[in-house]
Structure 1
Amino acid sequence: MTEQAVQDRLTTPPLGIYVHLPWCVRKCPYCDFNSHARNPGLISESPYLAALEADLRQDLALLGTPRPVHSVFIGGGTPSLFSPEAIGQLLKTLRRHLPFRPDTEITMEANPGTFERERFHGYRAAGVNRLSVGIQSFNDTHLQRLGRIHSGHDASQAISAAHEIGFDHLNLDLMYGLPGQDLNEALADLEQAIDLGPDHISHYQLTIEPNTPFAQRPPRLPPDETLWRMERRCRVALGRAGFKRYEVSAFARPGAACRHNLNYWTFGDYLGIGAGAHGKLTDTASGHIWRTRKQSHPQRYLATASTTARLADHEAVPPIARPLEFLMNALRLTDGFRLELYRQRTALSPELLLQSLAAALSDGLLRQQADSVIPTVRGLALTNELLLSFMADEIAASA
């Protein structure tokens, strides 16, 4: 694929904001996110909030014309280590610089420990309207093996408190395939999560990531056959409980899909501010799509937030890379994507995909319905294999 393959103008996608708060009480042995252990009382909120605003000001120059914000996601680390007052100040800062839609989704990640739970009311008052709670398991033995600092009882109490406070939109993060876990334990975790009444559940398999303590000292995980049965049985249980699978590991009740993540998966735009935050911006005037990444270490980020040195990476996505970048996200969606959306977000002709699409259709990994390309259940289970044919096209085109 060459520059001449760009046949259309890019259209302006929806805009989200991702804010990264990088501190946690203790780093979990499976976690490869940009997080740094720190006592909550030692977190200096004011300097970091000032850095976030300086970073945002710099990014606004990259954005150009201000655009309405469709979603905000405050992730980490453990954002609930920041006080409600700090979160309120952060949201006021964002609103001061960019227009928010009346229905902007504002999600914050939180842990279910007592310290964070006591702050839930303040977060709701500050403007957070969707809470994402990192449960992982309700089984105390498994939680200890995962290095979590909360108990199953803490988790149940936190969800009950969130409901009472008025968080109508509530996601629970839940893992399966844990060290020593059997099928019945995985199902019991899921049943308890469903009984607590969230409208969204992120249900994903524990994986061993490089450069983590689990990678250095791998725990014994369930065998592949058990993992497959866990995934299948849990998926069926979620469906029976009224949760629709709309992404590989995301399940939601009607109308409760995470808009911020859907924007990622449909190649939307987002500002990424905070230590290690990633961003994507579409410049329709120049025809460029930009990827940004901020300095990862908090101290380095704090020192550079008001300068161009805050950018660890700032690169254009060339046309040759756009198909794979789009598909790596869109093919995680159970409803797939429209070919017209592909054209709008990449400025490339869908006809260039036809050969690879035909092979995936023949292999039973995809199906086509009118203008939409939709992964099959087999295709969702074999996402990496599905992408290989498109990756091969990119390599061949660049040779």
Structure 2
Amino acid sequence: MSQHQEPLRLPELSLYVHIPWCIQKCPYCDFNSHKLKGSVPEQAYVSRLLDDLSADLEWVQQRSIHSIFIGGGTPSVFSANAIQRLMDGIRQRVHLAPDCEVTLEANPGTFETEKFADFVKAGINRLSIGVQSLQQHQLTALGRIHDPVQARAAAAHASQLPLNSFNLDLMHGLPDQTLAAALDDLKQVIALQPPHISWYQLTIEPNTSFASKPPELPDDDTLWDIYQAGHELLQQAGYQQYEVSAYAKPGHQSSHNRNYWQYGDYLGIGCGAHSKVTVAEDNRIIRCEKIKHPQGYLDLTRELRYQLTEITPEERYFEFFMNQLRLLEPVSKQRFEQTTGLPASQASLKLQQAITQRWVTETPGHWQLTPTGHRYLNSVLETLL
């Protein structure tokens, strides 16, 4: 052990399950998702997911799973029976905390919405529904296959189910979107009364259809006006911002996402899934990536772990703050030391430029992003490189 390194403490453990198929690939999406051709090989894929989890049990280290997120892709293309089998298999292999949050991503199309109640019976207690917009021309531009009527119906249906919570995803900064149009979209989503809203700006990512043929997006001044006015609307409606793009009614913050942002541990199963795991006895933090393509992932002759690397102390500084500074709450120096094994004094030195710029403030026990730092978060992170 390096003399500059403190013993690591095992943080909370989450589980991410990746289901890669979509009915249609959206032009803005850079996730590991694949347009469905033919029927979904759900039984073979669930079997492989459970084998994947069994192979990673050494990393659980006697911890309970505090949250599960089934993402994609579009997990709701799977049948409720397949999700039931998946959840049963997970419970057989790991212990779930009594208050374990279990989220499933879903599209608002009628095909998926009809399964919501059976997903709940399988053990799903939180849905995340990809609305993205309630304006038909924007849904068309975004490549979404649902319409505004289906989106409202999905939210209404979710509100009647015995869920702990549900989230609606909404984008802003859409092609040619005005301030008035963005706020109208947001007002309509607020009227649906979801306990949680993920309200995030459309960005053009490499290797997407939008990257090869970029649409005309609002300018920076309009984007900032949208953000400020929308933020005020959400606050007035009783939503508390706890992360850059996440707003929740009291008691409805996402446990799973908070664990990511607090630099907790997570197991990732499924094609292209990533894991970040603390191995306390070796004082190491490791990252693992699984085979990315579904065909390779389903090949029983192949090793599922595609890449296994150790996160160096230098990388831990950046990764910790890249995640933690997305949360608007103060950053605990004690938590920094426990989850990175590094001295807070060294982190303070790395943050000095951001502190001088008044992007970050410092107390004996915490660091805190300022409102200006919140706006220029990417610049703050660049000072740590």
Aligned residue for 1:43? Answer: 40
Aligned to 2:20: 22
Choose which of 355, 358, 373 in structure 1 pairs with 2:349.
355
Q: Distance in 2 between matches of 1:73 and 1:390?
A: 30
Letter in 2 for 1:28: C
Q: What residue identity is the alignment partner of 1:259?
A: S
Please tell me whether residue 389 in structure 1 is matched to residue 383 in structure 2.
yes
What amino acid does structure 2 have at the position aligned with 1:37? K
- Alignment partners' CA distance in 2, 1:152 and 1:98: 39
Give 1:297 shift: 0.3
Can you list the C-alpha shifts for 1:264-296, whole angstroms capped at 9, x where unaligned?
A: 111111110001001111010000101011111
Q: Is the 8 A contact 1:330 1:336 kept in 2?
A: no
Q: 1:214 to 1:385 in 2, by over 3 A?
A: same
* Shift in Å, 1:370: 4.8
- Counterpart of 1:172, as a letter, is L
The correspondence of residues 34-73 of structure 1 with structure 2, limited to 5 A, is: 34-38=32-36, 42-61=39-58, 63=59, 65-73=61-69
| Cα deviation, residue 44, structure 1 | 1.2
Give the match for residue 304 of structure 2.
310
Query: In the alignment, which of 241, 255, 259 is matched to residue 237 of structure 2?
Result: 241
Post-superposition offset of 1:332:
0.8
Matches within 5 A, 1:1-399: 3-6=2-5, 8-38=6-36, 42-61=39-58, 63=59, 65-304=61-300, 309-391=303-385
2:164, 2:284 → 1: CA distance? 38
| 8 Å CA contact retained: 1:131, 1:170 | yes
Contact 2:13 2:60 in 1 (8 A): no
TM-score norm. by structure 1 comes to: 0.94
Give the whole-Å Cα distance in 2 for the aligned partners of 1:288 and 1:302: 30
Gapped runs of 5+ residues in structure 2?
Answer: none
Conserved in 2, the CA contact under 8 Å of 1:55 and 1:273? yes
C-alpha separation in 2, matches of 1:340 and 1:77:
37
CA distance in 1, matches of 2:2, 2:208: 40
Inter-CA distance 199–251: structure 2 relative to 1 (3 Å threshold): same
Q: In the TM superposition, what is the alpha-carbon distance from 1:262 to its structure 2 partner?
A: 0.5
Separation in 1 of the partners of 2:122 and 2:54? 22
SS in 1 for 2:56: helix
Q: C-alpha separation between the residues in 1 aligned to 2:75 and 2:189? A: 22
Q: What is the rounded CA distance, in whole Å, between the counterparts of 1:106 and 1:70 in structure 2?
A: 9
Letter in 2 for 1:346: T
Counterpart of 1:264 in 2: which secondary structure?
helix
Give me the whole-angstrom Cα distance separating, in 2, the residues matched to 1:236 and 1:362: 29
CA distance in 2, matches of 1:381, 1:24: 33
Which one-letter code corresponds to 1:329 in the other structure?
A: N
Whichever structure has more helix as a proportion of its residues is 1
Residue number in structure 2 paired with 1:394: none
Q: Give the drift of 1:165.
A: 2.1
Q: How many residues align?
A: 385
Q: Distance in 2 between matches of 1:212 and 1:3?
A: 42
How far the C-alpha of 1:369 sits from its partner, in A, is 4.3
- The answer to whether the Cα contact below 8 Å between 2:101 and 2:125 also exists between their aligned partners in 1 is yes
Amino acid of the structure 1 residue aligned with 2:336 = Y
Cα distance change of structure 1 residues 115 and 148 upon mapping to structure 2, 3 Å threshold: same
What residue ranges of structure 1 are gaps of 5+ in the alignment? 392-399
CA deviation map 1:112-163 (0-9, x unaligned) = 0000000001001111000000000000010000110000111000000111
Q: Deviations over 1:209-261 (max 9, x none)?
A: 00101000011111111111111111111111111111111111111110001
- Determine the C-alpha separation between the residues in 2 that align with 1:231 and 1:25: 31
Shift of 1:69: 0.5
Counterpart residue identity of residue 351, structure 1: S
* Superposition deviation, residue 359 in structure 1: 2.4
Cα displacement (A) at 1:106: 0.2
CA RMSD in angstroms comes to 1.3
Contact 1:60 1:66 in 2 (8 A): no
TM-score (norm 2): 0.97
The amino acid that maps onto 2:275 is: G
The percent of aligned pairs where both chains have the same amino acid is: 44
CA contact (8 A) 1:120 1:162 kept: yes
CA distance in 2, matches of 1:77, 1:266: 25
Tell me if structure 1 keeps the 8 A contact 2:360–2:368.
Answer: yes
SS of 1:226's equivalent?
A: helix
- Write the distance in 2 (CA, Å) between the matches of 1:191 and 1:86: 36
- Partners of 2:144 and 2:60 lie apart in 1 by 42
Q: 1:229 to 1:196 in 2, by over 3 A?
A: same
